[in-house]
Every structure is written in structure tokens, then in C-alpha cells.
Structure 1
Amino acid sequence: MIEVGQKLPHAELSELTADGMVNHEVTALFAGKKVVLFAVPGAFTPTCSASHLPGFVVNADKLAQKGVDIIACISVNDAFVMKAWGDAQNAEAIMMLGDGDASFTKALGLEMDTGSFGGVRSQRYAMIIEDGVVTTLNVEQPKQFEVSKAEVILDAL
């Protein structure tokens, strides 16, 4: 599993924008920026939709005031699903990124096999990244939602 002090791995994440599909190389996207990246097991799922993403939507301005350049949400879903979920959650200030094949999630060592839920998914976590280096990493225990909340990350900044 990636650790504090390590650089993010090279990987691509996809985003559906108004101009079409964009594939972002992670190290280039986050270079020179302060980033809050949080991951959810699945778009449109109960805790993710009721609490995790909404917390970052509500606190986006406060995160920006703390110097955060990008707030990004990733899931092992395709970019179309992530865009639809972001639209449904009024997540205009959040970059909704798809990790459709779980390659980024696996490169981080933060995957989990959920079996009938959808196979390989991401563990729930939040991290702070500065110029491509992880400075804070909060990984949830299974079926928990405590350390990756927006308010916890805001306090860490």
C-alpha cells in the first residue's frame, strides 16, 4: 500500500467533461498542486452518496481556502457513471474521475475484492497530495466511515 512520503504511481484516470472524454495522467495532473483525493467503493452507493461525496461538496470552499487546488473523487467506475453521479450530487467543484479498470487503485495497493458487489473496488480513503507526494493518507477500516470524511481532511490541512 502507498505510504505517506511516497510519490503517486503513473496511471491514467478518465473524466467526462463538457468537451468529451479526457484521460489524465495522474502525475502530470497533480504536479505542482495541492490535491485532496478521496476514493469510494462505488458511485451511487448508500454511504458514498449520502455522506462521503456530499461532505466534500459542502466543504469545497473551505478546502480551497486552505490552499487546495483540486478536489478529486475516484471510484472503480467508468467516467460516464462518475459524471452522472457528480451531476446528481451537484459536485461542480469536484473532479469526478473514473478508474474503470482499477489500475490506479491497484497501483496504490488500495483495492479490495467485494465479490458479488462488483468484484475489485477501491477501499474508502482520503489523501492529501502535494506536488505528487502523499502527505496524509486516511484509509477506512471495512464498513467504516470515520477517517476519510471531508471534515477530518479539512482539520488535517
Structure 2
Amino acid sequence: MTIQVGDRIPSAKLMQGTAEGPREVSTDELFKSGTAVLFGVPGAFTPTCSARHLPGFVEKADALKAKGVGTIACMAVNDAFVMAAWGKDQGVGDKVMMLADGAAVFTKALGLELDLTARGLGVRCQRFALIARDGVVTHLAVEAPGAFEVSSADAVLAAL
């Protein structure tokens, strides 16, 4: 079942690539307090994700933070090394946390998995964006397959 507004973010461990190697990130800690934005993409280095989705959040990071967002995180079903390389390629810096859900455990806990096995991509994450306050989802926007409308940085800004 897909996570809904009013639900608590499920407990899971994600990975973040760092200069010292992969570092575990607990969703309990990440979403514990304050306002956080999490957006999920089907995959690092993929066309829409690289050309529009991630760049929009990098570009609008200051505007999101001005509206009280403490954490902006991008998640994909990729490994921490790929997510770190993608962040470097996109010039993310410290504006967006690049989080890996390599085995899609958190993605499945959210109910936002997308089976692209027939296309040779395995289980991925649907394109979405959510806002959480103190660990509770206050806004959730999940894209229709192939669409990029409701999960953009501009859409999230409008929802804050």
C-alpha cells in the first residue's frame, strides 16, 4: 500500500556516498524533526531525472530552505557510489543529499516501487516528491508513468 498524507515515514537504512565511502543514513534520524523534502527518481543518470528533476531541486534549494525546509534529499534504487557520482556530475554540492536505496527496501516500504524488469532495469522507484514534518507526510505527489508534472521543485515549493 502506498504511503499517504498523515502517515509516518517508515524506518529504513539508506546509504550516502561520501569521500570516506558509503555512510548509512537512518530515515528515523533524517525525518525526525523539522521539514524535509524527499524526491524519488527511477534512476541516476536517466534522461528526465538528469535533465529536469534533480537540476530543479538544485536550482530551487535556496527557495525551499527559505520556506523552512531543512533537508532536501534525492533517492533512487541505485548504489551509493552511483548516487555520489551522479551528484558530482550534476554539481549538487551540499544542496541535495543523494541517497541510495540499493535493494529498494525503503522504496517498497513506501509502496512506491516500479517494476521495470521487462525493460532490463529491475525494480525501481516511481517518480515522486513528498514533504514531511517531524516524520509525518504532509504532502505526497506521485507521477503517472512517464510524466513529470507534480513532483518538480516548483510543485513542491507551491505545496509548502
With the length of structure 2 as denominator, give the TM-score of the two structures.
0.96
Any gaps of 5 or more consecutive residues in structure 1? none
The superposition leaves residues 89-135 of structure 1 with CA deviations (integer Å, 9 ceiling, x where unpaired) of 01111000000000000000000101224110000000001111000
Give the ranges of 4+ consecutive aligned residues of structure 1 lying more than 4 Å apart after TM superposition: none
Matched with 2:32 is: 31
1:50 aligns to 2:46 (yes or no): no
Which stretch shifts more, 78-87 or 29-38? 29-38
Q: What is the rounded CA distance, in whole Å, between the counterparts of 1:118 and 1:61 in structure 2?
A: 33
Question: Compared with structure 1, are the counterparts of its residues 69 and 120 closer, same or farther at alpha carbon in structure 2 (3 Å cutoff)?
Answer: same
1:29 positional shift: 1.8
Contact 2:38–2:130 (CA<8 Å) still a contact in 1? Answer: yes
Q: Distance in 2 between matches of 1:141 and 1:107?
A: 19
Show the counterpart of 2:82. 81
List runs of 5+ in structure 2 lacking aligned partners: none
Partner of residue 12, structure 2? 11
More displaced stretch, 117-126 vs 96-105: 117-126
Once superposed, what is the RMSD of the aligned Cα atoms? 0.8
Output the CA distance in 2 between the equivalents of 1:96 and 1:117: 23
Q: Which residue of 2 aligns with 1:133?
A: 136
Distance 1:124 1:37 in 2: 11
Cα distance in 1 for residues equivalent to 2:60 and 2:13: 27
Residue 33 (structure 1) shift: 2.2
Partners of 1:62 and 1:138 lie apart in 2 by: 19
Q: Secondary structure at the match of 2:139?
A: strand
Aligned residues: 157
Deviation track 1:47-69 (CA, whole Å, cap 9, x = no partner) reads 00000000001000000100100
User: Does the CA contact (< 8 Å) of 2:77 and 2:103 recur in 1?
Assistant: yes
Superposition deviation, residue 4 in structure 1: 0.2
Matched residue of 1:4: which SS?
A: coil
